[in-house]
């Protein structure tokens, strides 16, 4: 069988994990091209530590990843995909034919409300560091953290609340911290045991939590919580970005947020061609790097099968694993689908049942980045 031309779109966690897994499974049966407009891949799960000066985003050259994979690297954005003709168009006008494509484009991050600071893993230090300093200086005594109604990954919001409360307490201060979520329980995505544990942590930190609510921001320091019309007038309002599907022409789009629809094998629904997708840009309801990595592994196995290098992969049955930073000892949680009953069945761990230095579990990417860190010159 001749080499399969494979295009990997994006080098976030899903794209990098998928490329690494595909090379391991398929070897030289695939000729790989990586397309990404950035120069570096930022490993961002610990970005929430930046405002507290206890961590930073690690960055790795994409060109080095491509070299290590014997892949072609095109530094350009994906503008469109013709699934029928099996071609991809870049923003600079390149047309790339492919035999199989992995779309790991991520989702668009949008500000869900006005008059609020939007915390993302790209602007962690810029957005929240000043707020932490103002709390430490006594200039800010109240803050509201809002979980959007739209799809997002809410864990950083709970981390910000708990870490802010711990930092303030250590300095003898007690700002009023309020967290609002549209869901009936805190950190609902992980299910019962995890939600209960997070609820206890919030109570111990004296953080006020409003669950099952819609928080409307009507001014720079004015939030109305429905139902009930409770009015809050915090000195700072912080939220997370709402996530929507990637703005790439030619892709199927699932209403209402424009995500790329995928099946249980991470194939693009309605593509009629070997197109796979993984990560936040898909219509899988939970937006989490660990799930994105598992999707990428499933997609890579499907592409390796097309190349004649692997058996057909089983359907994806994701496992959620998370480390909740609290300012003190982290909380380690894991969850699996609860079967026909729906939802997730979660467990709490005192010690992580995975590599302790990994906040997001990616079976290929974790060891690869560790090898790059070990090879980096020491300051």
Residues 31, 118 share a domain: no
pLDDT of residue 191: 77
Residues 135, 99 share a domain: no
Q: In what order do the strands lie in the sheet with 214-219?
A: 214-219, 222-226, 230-232
Confidence of residue 357 (pLDDT cuts 50, 70, 90): low
Identify the domain boundary among 242, 262, 283.
Answer: 242
In this prediction, residues 216-226 reach a mean pLDDT of 95
pTM of the model: 0.93
Question: Where would I find the beta strands (DSSP E) of 104-149?
Answer: 108-110, 117-118, 142-146
Residues 93, 121 share a domain: no
Q: Is 339 part of a structural domain of the chain?
A: no
Residues 216, 134 share a domain: yes
Residues 238, 169 share a domain: yes
Identify the domain boundary among 242, 259, 294.
Answer: 242
Confidence of residue 379 (pLDDT cuts 50, 70, 90): very low
Q: Is 321 part of a structural domain of the chain?
A: no
CATH of the domain at 305: 3.50.50.60
How far is it, in rounded angstroms, from Cα 128 to Cα 238?
Answer: 9
Q: Is 215 part of a structural domain of the chain?
A: yes
Residues 208, 174 share a domain: yes
Identify the domain boundary among 217, 242, 267.
Answer: 242
In this prediction, residues 197-208 reach a mean pLDDT of 96
pLDDT of residue 76: 97
Question: What are 130's two structure tokens?
Answer: 């000043």
Q: Is 296 part of a structural domain of the chain?
A: yes
Residues 265, 182 share a domain: no
Residues 88, 74 share a domain: yes
Tell me: pLDDT of 378 over 50: no
pLDDT of residue 243: 95
How far is it, in rounded angstroms, from Cα 146 to Cα 237?
Answer: 7
Determine the 3-state secondary structure of 323 from DSSP.
Answer: strand
Confidence of residue 340 (pLDDT cuts 50, 70, 90): low
In this prediction, residues 264-287 reach a mean pLDDT of 92
The number of residues in the chain equals 379
How far is it, in rounded angstroms, from Cα 13 to Cα 102?
Answer: 13
Q: Is 141 part of a structural domain of the chain?
A: yes
pLDDT of residue 32: 98
Residues 87, 11 share a domain: yes
Q: Is 328 part of a structural domain of the chain?
A: no
- Mean pLDDT (the chain) is 91
Residues 226, 213 share a domain: yes
Distances (CA, A) of 345 to 34, 158, 188, 194, 348: 36, 20, 11, 9, 11
**pLDDT, tens only, 68-124:** 999 999 999 999 999 999 999 999 999 999 999 999 999 999 999 999 999 987 777
Q: Is 17 part of a structural domain of the chain?
A: yes
Q: Name the one residue in this structure whose structure tokens are 């307490």.
A: 169
User: How far from each other are the two terminal CA atoms of the chain, in whole angstroms?
Assistant: 48
**pLDDT, tens only, 135-164:** 999 999 999 999 999 999 999 999 999 999
Handedness of CA 350, 353, 358, 359 (dihedral sign): negative
Our count of domains for the chain comes to 2
Confidence of residue 342 (pLDDT cuts 50, 70, 90): low
Residues 204, 122 share a domain: yes
Of the chain, the percentage scoring pLDDT greater than 90 comes to 73
Question: What are 250's two structure tokens?
Answer: 């030619």
- Structural domain that includes position 154: 111-242
In this prediction, residues 178-204 reach a mean pLDDT of 92
Residues 237, 141 share a domain: yes
Tell me: pLDDT of 176 over 70: yes
Q: Is 236 part of a structural domain of the chain?
A: yes
């Amino acid at each position: 069988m001749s080499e399969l031309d494979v295009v990997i779109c994006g080098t976030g966690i899903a794209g990098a994990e998928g490329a690494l897994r595909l090379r391991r499974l398929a070897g030289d049966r695939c000729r790989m091209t990586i397309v990404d407009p950035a120069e570096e891949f930022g490993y961002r799960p610990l970005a929430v530590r930046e405002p507290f000066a206890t961590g930073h985003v690690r960055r790795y050259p994409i060109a080095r990843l491509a070299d290590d994979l014997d892949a072609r690297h095109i530094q350009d954005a994906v503008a469109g995909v013709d699934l029928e003709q099996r071609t991809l168009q870049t923003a600079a006008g390149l047309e790339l034919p492919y035999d199989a494509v992995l779309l790991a484009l991520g989702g668009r991050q949008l500000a869900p409300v006005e008059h609020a600071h939007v915390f993302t893993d790209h602007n962690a230090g810029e957005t929240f560091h000043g707020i932490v300093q103002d709390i430490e200086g006594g200039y800010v005594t109240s803050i509201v953290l809002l979980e959007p109604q739209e799809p997002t990954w809410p864990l950083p919001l709970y981390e910000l609340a708990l870490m802010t409360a711990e930092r303030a307490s250590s300095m003898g201060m007690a700002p009023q911290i309020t967290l609002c979520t549209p869901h009936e329980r805190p950190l609902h995505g992980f299910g019962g045991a995890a939600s209960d544990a997070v609820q206890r942590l919030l109570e111990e930190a004296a953080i006020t939590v409003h669950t099952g609510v819609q928080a409307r921001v009507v001014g720079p320091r004015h939030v109305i919580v429905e139902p009930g019309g409770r009015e809050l007038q915090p000195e700072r309002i912080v939220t997370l970005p709402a996530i929507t599907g990637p703005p790439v022409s030619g892709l199927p789009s699932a209403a209402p947020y424009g995500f790329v629809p995928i099946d249980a094998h991470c194939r693009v629904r309605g593509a009629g061609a070997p197109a796979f997708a993984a990560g936040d840009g898909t219509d899988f309801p939970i937006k989490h790097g660990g799930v994105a990595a598992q999707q990428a592994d499933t997609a890579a196995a499907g592409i390796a099968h097309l190349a004649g290098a692997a058996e057909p992969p089983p359907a994806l049955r994701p496992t959620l694993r998370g480390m909740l930073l609290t300012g003190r000892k982290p909380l380690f949680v894991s969850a699996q689908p609860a079967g026909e009953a729906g939802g997730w069945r979660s467990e709490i761990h005192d010690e992580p049942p995975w590599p302790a230095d990994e906040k997001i579990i990616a079976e290929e990417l974790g060891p690869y980045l560790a090898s790059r860190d070990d090879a980096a010159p020491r300051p």
